[in-house]
Structure 1
Amino acid sequence: MKMFKNTGYYFKEASTLFKIDFKTNLLSILSMGLVLTILGIVISGILVGDNFIEILSREADIGVFYSEDLNLVDRLAIKDELKKIKGLVEIIEVDKEESLKEMEEVLGGDKDVLELFDENPFLPYFNLKVELDEREGVLKALEGIRNISHVRDNNEVVEKIKILINNMKIIGVFLAVAVSLVSAIVISHIIRQGIYLNRERIETLTLLGAPPSFIKIPFLIEGVFMSLLAGALSALMLFLLIVLFYSKASSMFLPLPEKGILIVTNVVLTVGVSLILGILGSSTGVGGQVGE
């Protein structure tokens, strides 16, 4: 109970400690904030990539292309063969004009680039909606059908993106470890510096009988406060970056997670990580330095 009665004193002392070396502390906060922001950007990239993979994996459509010179009889023959394949839910025939419109929707605001072509460069195709469990069987069955020029399978794209995302996750782990070590070391160094600058006052309090906890708590509060400020700064920068990115990406064909979810995830993560690092760094900084 006595500790709580001194709460006002602890926070006042922590504020004084912060002001003593204000410029250095401010630069440290900015540095940690930037490092946490970089970590947040990597994590956001992983979340966006995972969301993209999930959507592509659910989208089991397969595109079956054929030559536009193919006559009606041969085209109908392909369709009849497709109907025999187990696992097909629906067959949609897409002509050249519809294929062009689909690409215009994909390009969005950049669709004007298609005007550079003198003729429609896109091919007609059959869009196959398949059951996920039967996907491999459908692809194998397509190999035996004549007059098919090529097959577009989202699974190839998914696998390539998975490799990229897995590499990003490895980088993210190393970055998280590096951020944790750097931030904890910075906080610990700041606390030790503060203890050194206030060594005479600490000696006086010790001689007067002040317990170690009474002396340590203001330093702990200072370290946690600085780390939380860095986390808040990082959360603000990530919020602005996410809002800017979504405003620019609105015209692109890019399946994104909900903006609110991405923002909340980053805010909770950066503030939570900064709190933990602040506690660890401060505890390390005061450990064995006060009240010996």
Structure 2
Amino acid sequence: MFKNYLFNIKYFLKEARTIFKVDLLSNIFSILSISFILLILVMIISGLWVSTELVLTLEKEAEINVYYKDDLELEEINKLSKNISSLDGVTATGIISEDESFSRMEDILGKEAKVLEYFQDNPFSSFIEVKIDILKLDYVLDSLNDIEEVQSIRDNREVLDRLSEITVLLKFLSLLFITAIGISTIVVISHIIRQGIYNNRDMINTLK
């Protein structure tokens, strides 16, 4: 069987060399055209893959801050965090202490963080950081508002809505581009092959 494969390969290589000798320039352009089209297809697929990864990253970074009542004990706060994490659309929760809130604000302000030294007490409250599925934002917010221990929610609604729109748009464009480029690639390659057969029709008829 291996000998048959080897013989067939030698035969096809011999015929390919014969065809190239008959119309060298046309066949070279055909190969270059197909290679160029496939290269463009690979580049676009790579770009779409990067876009998909960007969408996933944006979705994972979507979060809201839940502030609870001041009179809650540590055990009650942990229980609240656990209850929130069980909600549909919530991917993770974490309790952020007052000191960590202060430290985060220092990082955000950078050189301007000196202004925080004028406060005698820590002006920041502890809260529960909630990472969410951006597409289920409304459901999560409604569920959180129904929880008695929740005092307020900082949802950055405008930013999250824009993030949701970008996510949906990127998914749609990715699907549209991959479909359009895939169809175009098949059509162009088919045309090149058909043109090659037409250009070598006399030799093909002779072989028949």
1:62 maps to which of 44, 60, 65? 65
Q: Check if 1:125 corresponds to 2:125.
A: yes
2:80 maps to which of 82, 87, 90? 87
Distance in 2 separating the partners of 1:42 and 1:130: 29
Once the two structures are TM-superposed, the CA of residue 184 in structure 1 deviates from its matched residue by: 1.0
The match for 2:168 is 166
Counterpart AA for 2:98:
V
Once the two structures are TM-superposed, the CA of residue 41 in structure 1 deviates from its matched residue by: 0.9
Distance in 2 separating the partners of 1:50 and 1:130: 17
Q: Check if 1:201 corresponds to 2:203.
A: yes
Distance in 2 separating the partners of 1:130 and 1:167: 24
Counterpart AA for 1:98:
S
Q: CA RMSD in A?
A: 4.4
Q: How does the TM-score come out when normalised to structure 2? A: 0.60
Counterpart AA for 1:128:
I
Distance in 2 separating the partners of 1:12 and 1:97: 76
The match for 1:100 is 105
Contact 1:49 1:161 in 2 (8 A): no
1:45 maps to which of 46, 51, 55? 51
Gaps of 5+ in 2: 83-93, 117-122, 133-138
Identity of aligned residues (%): 24
2:31 maps to which of 14, 25, 31? 25
Gaps of 5+ in 1: 66-77, 104-112, 207-292
Q: How does the TM-score come out when normalised to structure 1? A: 0.46
The match for 2:181 is 179
Matched residue count: 178
Relative distance call for 1:187 and 1:45 in structure 2 (3 A) is same
* Greater strand share, structure number: 2
| 1:170-219 deviation line (CA, Å, top 9, x unaligned) | 2222212211221111211211221122222112111xxxxxxxxxxxxx
Relative distance call for 1:175 and 1:135 in structure 2 (3 A) is closer
Relative distance call for 1:131 and 1:203 in structure 2 (3 A) is closer
